[in-house]
Amino acid sequence: MSDSSLGTHRLRARVRSPLAGAAAALALTLSGCANEIDARGNLPSETSVQQVQPGVHTRADVQALLGTPSATALYDSAVWYYISSHTTQYAFLKPEELDRQVLIVEFDRAGVVSDVIRIFKEDGEEVSISARETPARGTEQNVIQEFFGNLGRFTPSKVGR
């Protein structure tokens, strides 16, 4: 190789090296921002759900077919809930729910299935949470009460004794 071509070759190697490093850093950064889909909950297969027959199957049968429920009714175990959802999240942004299904199995007093209901995300309603607080009466103090309440609360320091 001639001296001029050797210098050009070294220059190209120096330019490629930072570009390759920058490309690798960009690829690592973007891979951290990748879309991640997360499945949560317990959604039994469609064939298992279709096997549950109202008036025929008992709680034990349902548990054998569908598995343990995600939740039961708060005051009465006559309703079982199988809850499932898919969420996605990009990097540090807030997760977004893609879909949700709730399978509700209701039992009569004898423990036999009375109804099977399926609810989807579209059937739900958005509930806004109030930022207001309920005041606790009797704890408010005016300026005079605060001033006199602090009298005698502090003791003189024992510096110099």
CATH of the domain at 76: 3.30.1450
What is the total count of domains within the chain? Answer: 1
CA dist., res. 103 & res. 69, Å (int):
9
- For residues 139 and 114, the answer to whether their CB atoms sit within 8 Å is no
113-160: per-residue pLDDT in tens? 999 999 887 777 776 777 777 777 766 777 777 777 777 666 666 655
114 domain residue, yes or no? yes
In a domain, 7, yes or no: no
Could you tell me the pTM of the whole model?
0.55
Residue 154: inside a domain: no
Q: At CA 148, angle to CA 151 and CA 155, rounded to 5?
A: 5
Predicted local confidence at residue 87, as pLDDT: 82
Asked whether residue 107 is domain-assigned, the answer is yes
CB-based contact 80:69 (threshold 8 Å): yes
Mean pLDDT, residues 48-56? 90
Q: Choose between 86 and 53: higher pLDDT.
A: 53
Q: Give pLDDT tens digits for 62-113.
A: 999 998 888 888 887 789 999 888 888 777 778 787 788 889 999 998 999 9
Residue 23 lies in a domain: no
Give the pLDDT score at 105: 92
Domain that holds residue 112: 35-125
pLDDT at 3 > cutoff 60: no
Q: Cβ contacts of residue 112 below 8 Å, gap of 6+?
A: 54, 55, 56, 57, 58
CA distances from 149 to 62, 140, 145 (A): 64, 13, 6
Residue 61 is predicted with a pLDDT of 92
Q: What is the pLDDT of residues 11-36, one digit of tens each?
A: 454 545 666 666 666 555 555 555 67
Maximum CA extent, the chain: 96
Q: Is residue 44 part of a domain?
A: yes
Residue 108 inside a domain? The answer is yes
Of 52, 70, 49, 73, the C-alpha closest to 61 is 52
1 belongs to a structural domain: no
